Amino acid sequence: MRKTFLSKSINETLRLGHKIGKLIEPPLFIALIGPLGAGKTLITKGLAKGLGINPDEVNSPTFTIMNIYDAKFPVYHYDLYRMETEQDLEALGLTEFFDSPEAVVLAEWAEKGESFYPSDYLTIRLEYGDKPTERDVDITASGKLSKSILGKIK
Ligand SMILES: Nc1ncnc2c1ncn2[C@@H]1O[C@H](COP(=O)(O)OP(=O)(O)OP(=O)(O)O)[C@@H](O)[C@H]1O
Ligand SMILES: [Mg+2]
């Protein structure tokens, strides 16, 4: 299942994230994919707001690899940009949280740890649009749970 959106501004991306954030609960893994500056952290701020987290707390864990936020449940925010190999990622012992039954996982540059994805997950892919403030947002679902969420995103 796939849905596509056109975001015409920073605010529209935040709002889309906010809407999705209100629909999700554990267990859920979201892979956030797209080039540098596409808006992965920005949409994560919207997702966080929808989950009841202060978006100002949300910053890319570029050096720490993972942040943990407290919502009604733990929210793990990954940034795998600096991971050179999947072996490095595994060696850090951080991949076990990908499949956490009681958490929501938001993973920037998730494709660098694709072997560790759970089977049912959402992918949010952001691409630069025609204008500098436009982004194409493509969302796909891989399984029963993620499809039921994607079905509710309008
Ligand atoms: N419609 C839009 N949606 C999202 N971001 C936008 C939009 N228009 C402009 N921007 C700008 O694009 C940038 C997105 O930055 P952000 O840090 O979210 O990217 P990122 O994908 O997380 O990058 P990185 O790979 O470095 O982590 C911001 O500077 C934001 O202001
Ligand atoms: Mg980022």
Task: Give residue 99's pLDDT band: very low, low, confident or very high (50, 70, 90).
Answer: very high
CB of 137 within 6 A of ligand 1: the answer is no
Angle between helices 10-23 and 40-50 (to 10 degrees): 40
Q: State the Cα–Cα distance between residues 22 and 132, nearest whole angstrom.
A: 28
Token duo for residue 17: 């994230």
CA of 96 to the centre of ligand 1 (A): 28
CB of 36 within 6 A of ligand 1: the answer is yes
**In order of start, what are the domains of the chain with their CATH numbers?**
2-152 (3.40.50.300)
Residue type present at position 36: L
Segment holding 123, helix H or strand E:
strand 122-128
Token duo for residue 39: 């808006």
| pLDDT, position 72 | 96
What is the pTM (predicted TM-score) of this model?
A: 0.97
At 48-88, the pLDDT tens digits run 999 999 999 999 998 889 999 999 999 999 999 999 999 99
